[in-house]
Structures are given as C-alpha cells and as structure tokens.
Structure 1
Amino acid sequence: MLNKLLILFSFLLALVGGTGLYSLFPLLMNLSHLAGFLVFLWVVLQQYRYTGAESIKFEYDKCLVFFLYTCFLLAYCLREILVSSEYQFNAFGGTEGTLRQYADLFRGIVGFLIVGVTYRAVGNSKIFIILPLLCLVILLAGLFLESYGIIDFNVRDHKKYESLTTEGNLLQRPGGFLNANMTAAIALIWLYITFESKSKAPVIIKGLALLITLAVCLLTQSRAAILFLTLYVVYKLIVLRNISFLVSVIFAGLLILLAAHYFELDFVKELLDKFSSRADSGEGSAQERSHVIVLAINSFFDAPIIGNGIFSVSKTIGRGVSSHNELLEVLANFGLIGFFMMSLLYWAFYHKSSFTYTSLCILPTLLFSHNFFETIGYQSALAFAYFTDTNEEA
C-alpha cells in the first residue's frame, strides 16, 4: 500500500511539479510539498515502529549544509528588509517581493528533497518508464497552449502577438508554463531519464522522447539546449558507439520525416531560419547578454564579499533580465560568501560524477541561465534525474 502511494505521489510531483504545470494551480504545488513532508514523517514513523531507532539513518553532512543554507537565506533576507537597500523597492514590489524571492530559493531545495523522499524508494518500478515521455508531452503542450493564447505566463507584447497566427506565435519563442530557456532545460532532464535509467524503455518511447525534446528545444529556440543536446548525441553515437541509441535516433528521424510531410515545410524552414538568426553573435539577444554579463561582473566588484542582494542585476536594469549565468548571478547577488554557500549546497545535493548527467541536466542551466536554485519545476525534474537508478549511486 505504501509503495503504491509513493508511486502515485511521485507521478503527481513529476507531472505537475516537474513540468511547470503547477503555474496553473500554485496552491496544488504547495499542498504537494506539504503532503510530501507528511509522507516523509510517516515513513520515518513506520521505520521506528517496526525496526527501531537504529534503522533511521540521517546524512548529517547534508543536514548541516541544509541548516547553513537556511540560515544564509534568512540572514540575507533580513538584511534586505531591515537595512536600507537601494534595491529594496525597485522592480519587484518592495519587501513583499523580497520575501517571495528568498522563499523561492528555499522552496527550490525543499522541492528537490521531497521528490527524493518519495521517488527513490520506488524508482525501480517499471511504471516509471512512461513518466518522462508524459512530462515531455506536457512541456510541448504548454508551448502550443501559449501559441493558441490559452495561457500566457511570459512577458509579451500582447498587441504584437494578437496580430499573429498560431504558427506566427510558435516562432516567437513560446515558453509554455515557464520561460523558454527553462522549459528547454527541463526537457533535457526528462530526456536524460529516458535514456539513462536502468529500467530500459522500449525504442518507441526513446524515439518519441528524443523527437519531442528536439521539438521543444527548437520551438523555444534555446541555443544552450541545442548545444548540449548535440553534444549528448555525439557522445552516445561516436564515443560510446551505443547501438540502442542509434536505433532510437533512426526511429526519431523517421518520425521527423513523417511530421515534415504532414506539417507545412515553410513553417519548418521559418523556424530553422529564426533559430539560425539567434545563433548569430550580432543578434540582439546575444548583444544584450554580453551587456548584462559585464554589468554582473561590475556589480560583483562593487560588493565582492557580501554582494548586492537577490536579483540585483535585474533590479538595476529595471526589467526582468539577469546575467544568464548562475555563477555570475550568485557572485553579483551574494558575493564570495554566497558563492561559497551555493557551491557547498551544489556539492552536497546536486553533484554526481556522470558526464551525461552533468552535460544534460546541470550545465545548460548553470552556465546559460540564472534560475538554477529557485525554479520549482527545474528542481523537481532534476531530483528525478539525480535519484534515478543510473550507474551512479544517488
């Protein structure tokens, strides 16, 4: 009975939490976290009742890091609220916004840990073979829902987009339930779980997962996601010479040909042209990123020890843009103290000595985004990748 409950709860955390679908029902995500905590207490109580206190194992080093991280967030949050800060009342709504931003950082690691509590106990169940594909379908559906105007969680020029067709909206980097880059990063995580889990998924599931991941990366026009997806494919085909992966690639290729025959080729060409223009170093997005990176470096040198406060670069610019690099973001926001704390948190909870895990699940967000620690959807999906039954021990 307990295993069935954990499996059901794991599916809920994946399909709602690990896709960004919780954006439609924020309360459901909070209730899920609360339920996860209650499940954890129940499991501990059952262990104590039937096997005694000696069977309850705590990883004291991780508990210590979690405690230090909590103190770190409280200290910085109180500093911004109680001490007059030039950023406190800019861009994100003053004290209320500051509390929410630090709460999101805390909820990120909590979401990661709750998935670990529920999933790793039942992760070997065969039913989880279909879970990554279901999550990828939800991610892709979110892009189409945004293009049809049914949902809109991203900052957009509504007048501009109202004049476009659905296909025109698909060319404007939809993000679905999250921002475009984060949606692509999460798609890579579910692809990793599909191919790297010891519970071997059939070729049809692997091929579909590869096809949907490619579609998500192209529609979101995420350059980092395409780069690391390409590296992963090259690594599996050329370095590892994985025949099973080759069969999946061939199957996905056949599906692409069928899709190209069914859909208008003009749209595919326009999408590829749009993506190619973003890859051009002279394109506006690339120039903007270069400017923000320089600003983040200067911001770090303004307060190298304690930093300038959360999202300081974005608040300085006055719009929802950050450095697009988690390392620079942490240095600018929290200085060397925060960089040490975040590094400690990463090595304690997120690190695994696996090339495929690091290249698909970690680096795209760590190096090319600024939402690594606070995005619940990413943290939930990452926890499934971390605790999946690969060759590496969780």
Structure 2
Amino acid sequence: MNWRPLLAFTGLVVPSVHAVIRFGCAQLVTQRFDPLVTPGQVSPHVHQIVGGNAFNITMDPSLDLPNLATCTTCRFKEDKSNYWTAVMYFKHPNGSFIRVPQIPNHYTGAYNGGMTVYYIQPPNFEPVTAFRPGFRMITGNPMLRNYDKIDPESPEAYSVSFRCWETTGFFDQDNMSPPGVGNYDTIHLPKKKCPAGIRANIFFPSCWDGVNLDSRDHKSHVAFMTGTVDSNRGLFFRNGTCPSTHPVRIPLLFYETYWDTRPFNDMWPTDGSQPFVLSMGDPTGYGHHGDYVFGWEGDSLQRAMDNCRDAFGDPSTCASQLTILSDAEINSCTQKPQINERVDGYLDKLPGCNPIQPGPASATMIANCDAVSTTGFSPSRTAAPAEVTAPPAVVTPAV
C-alpha cells in the first residue's frame, strides 16, 4: 500500500512540518454496547466498534486491555484500543430501515467495514504526550439536532462533519479539502444524493488536564485548543495553544467512516427528503459522536509519536516502531454480538427505542421503553465511574 498522497488529501500547503499515523481498522462487532455512557447495560442505540477484542460491556478502567486482548482489528498489532461510533441507516420509502454498509477508505487496505483512525502530532514535531493506561473520552453529543448554541468558529463546530463524495478518485476535486471544510463538507448529513458515498469525520479534543484519565461526562478532562478555527484549514494540522486548565498536548485523534450510500441512490425519496438516519434516531447528523478507550501496549504509542514522522501517514514508515498486520489478520479478529437482536437487513424500526427526532430541539430519551436497551437507565442519569487519575504528566522532547 502506498499512502504517500496524503497531503493531497488534506489540501494543505503549510510552512511547518507535520506528522501523522493513519491506518484502517476492520469491524470487530456491531451491537448496542457503549461501556462509557452506559457501563454494564445495553446501550440505547447501536454502535459500530473496532479495535481490540477485549471490548466488553463494562470496560472497567482497571482492566489491562493490551494483555486481555488476543487480537485487534487495527493495522498495528500493538494497538488494542477500542474506537466506536453510531451506525447509519437508510429509511426506505416504505418506512423500514436498513443499515448502510461501511467500506475501506482510500489507500487503507481491503478490510471488512470499520473506519480509518488518525493520530496527528502537533506542528513542527512539538512534544506530545501519549494517552495513559485507563484513558478514555468521547466527542460529540448524540442528543444534538442543531448547532444554534455552538459558536460557528469554535473547534466544536468543526469536530463533526460529513463529506459528500461526487466521485471515488483519491485525487478528485471533492477530496482536496481538509476534513470539515470546503464545498463538499457539511456539519449535517448531506441533503442531496452523494454519487460516491458519504464520509463521516470525527475529531476529538487534543488537550488534557494531565491528571484525570476520565471524567463524569467523559469530556471535562480534555479540551480543544483555544481560539477560532481557520475556515480553510479546519482542525486537521491546526496550530493553536492548549488552555491553562488543560495544558498537556495529546495526539489529535480523528476518525473517518466511509458509508457506502451508493446502493440507495436509486431509492431516494421522491419528495427530495434526506433519507439517512443515525442509529439514535438522528436524521440531521448533528448528533454524530465518537468514543475512545486507550489500549496501546506499553510505550508503543509514545514511541510512534516520537519517531514516526511521516507527513503522509504511511504505516510502513513506522515499521521500526510498530508491528504491521495484514488484511487477513485484522479481518480474522471479530466478536460475536451478545445482544440477541437484528441490527442488519430490513428492520421495522431502529434497534432499541429510537424514534426519529428531527429537532431542532434536542432529542430526549424515551421513558418506559420496553426494549432491553433502557433497563435501569433513565434520561437524567449520566454513568459516572469514580474519578480516575494518573501521575502528573511529564512532557519530554521527542527524540
């Protein structure tokens, strides 16, 4: 695989030096688990999960994921982390729903479904502190149905977006802008047919308080860099400073999911309405979100951040630090769903209790739901494990 064209993909011509590792992850399992928001319970909505096979319904912070996992669906053997997002469905004109398939992104291999994961370093090889064991975080808000209360120039406004691909070529015009900006990206689901599919973009905050590995809302221990966002560059390779409350620069984590909407273009509603909906009943896309649980072996991620300095994200340039797995190896790592329900094929309704809530008001949880997803769960509850802390972060120069 040759991933050298990555800078063309970013559309950036920048004076500073940047580095990134970019790799594909095959599908591990698709089911209603979200061990960050609803630990120990079945999640209200479906997620697609990739990464190490130690993934489970609780993901207790004390678990040693790298040693518990026997395989990973991601390109590097050392990465037993877990990454997950909501699932996209197509609402058929007859009222039924069918899951939209995922396919590999450009130049990432031939794996089953999944997504592309990026760990982006600061400009000019500035020091970056890798995540610590037990670290986890989320980005986005599944209840959002509009951005009326979000500053349009803030990092939050650029953290989730969708690219409507007109063509499939890596070097085509619709792939020349950084994620989240340009003429082909929107902060909501595209309101027109996308001939070559839809790519979802999800950015996480890149500043850490240096102490807490998690927080009650799974967000407060991290923060986006301060300042407004350049509308031509977005968050990818963005220069900036961390706030004083979150002074430690961590890798900028970024997900891409390539949803193959092409099979549904001939079934587009005759009234022109947007037919795609995310698994929590969101037809807008504003509620898209991502979850992350760190699980890299030992100091492998720190080594990669210190030594893998390819601006194009080609995993082969990191082979001296990390072990590269084949497509066959990552495809063979799977889990059987533990929830006895259908999430694929034509469905009468979205799994769980997820009626379509188009907004613009924020979505609400369905009370007294008889689906297994809400057993013991109420709308007012935020799953809150005890605060988990780490030794103070010591930032050392990259070598």
- Shorter-normalised TM range: under 0.3
Structure with the largest fraction of helix: 1
What TM-score results when the alignment is normalised by the length of structure 2?
Answer: 0.21
- Higher gyration radius (CA): 1
What TM-score results when the alignment is normalised by the length of structure 1?
Answer: 0.22
